[in-house]
Structure 1
Amino acid sequence: MDKPKGNNITLFRQLGEHSETAFDKLYDIYAGRLLVFIGTYLSFETEPAEDVLAEVMEALWIQREQIATKTDPERWMYKIAKNRALEMRKVLIRHRYEALDEYPGLVSDMLTDSKLEGDELEGLVWEALEGLTPTEREVFECKWLEGLTSAAIAKRHGVIEQTVNNQMTAARKKIGEYLAEHLDPDDIG
């Protein structure tokens, strides 16, 4: 990220004086770059990245007077973009893997109206477990079959808690992808 050029600093100062023209110019200058930057945190998913960009630009307008006094307002913008993107990523992950949070039955709200029998669905989950690495499977089973916390799993295996969380995230992703591949959209209500 380059330091803002003198002209951009001028635009930020004008923005502080409530200039909509300056805001439009700043949007034209930064929107594309910010969208790519935000996309790196969101696996380049377009809609969530655009939502985060809108939030960043809204924050820019709302806080325009304070931003105009900053020595590096561009850096502030990128910091806000990163923080909002990370928040959005957490939301996306939570929504994606909501179905797995009620394992071992795995009949989440999304699948409550499923035409599949619970046994069939559970069978698909067990098949999905076969695609996990031994470590991912061990962590997943400790969490969902034994009901252990991430801290307890980390202690049991002599690793840090973040390692357990990373393995759990990888396992959930693989299981979610497997289910998405093997569930017919007509089988879900």
Structure 2
Amino acid sequence: MRPVSDREHRLVVRAAAGDREAFDALIGPRWERIFRIALRIVGTREDAEDVAQRACLRLWQTLDRFRAGEDLDGWIYRMVTNLAIDALRRRRARREEPGPGPAARRTVAPAAERRVLAAELEQALAEVTDGLPERQKAVFVLARIEGFAPAEIAKMLGLAPSTVRNHLFQARGHVARELARRFPGLLGRRGERR
């Protein structure tokens, strides 16, 4: 992860002192990714909006605890990921199921076979990913969808790099097996797309 720039450090200090504009300048460029991480973990827009808003509130309340030299992005995304995992656990404890994902709500032209398959794959991936244990899901989302490296994820989640690699290995295996089961012939023997 990248070190905090001088500009960001000044914004952190100002925001921690209660400067709302400085806080907005810190969060604004990161908002889309904050929301995307939350959405990929919790699965519904409503829950993702709630998680993202709670994360911003918590960041606002705890920004004075951020230390110079720490990774600001890692600190922010760790908070979002942990809040999303907590929300997912609460929902699973209530045995609520999320509504259909974006792929299920889309209408695709009948002649556009590739788009239909892509939408089906997207929906299947969302369903399979949603079935992963919370930590595996968080690691998978951060690595495969958000593009973070295992070392970055380890710092964000406070896990050993080997634990992150293990979660990622298990999640990829589960996802590949489930997609191969749902779409026989689409994936090769080791999960490669044909």
- TM-score in terms of structure 2 length: 0.44
Name which one, 1 or 2, has greater alpha-carbon Rg: 1
- TM-score in terms of structure 1 length: 0.45
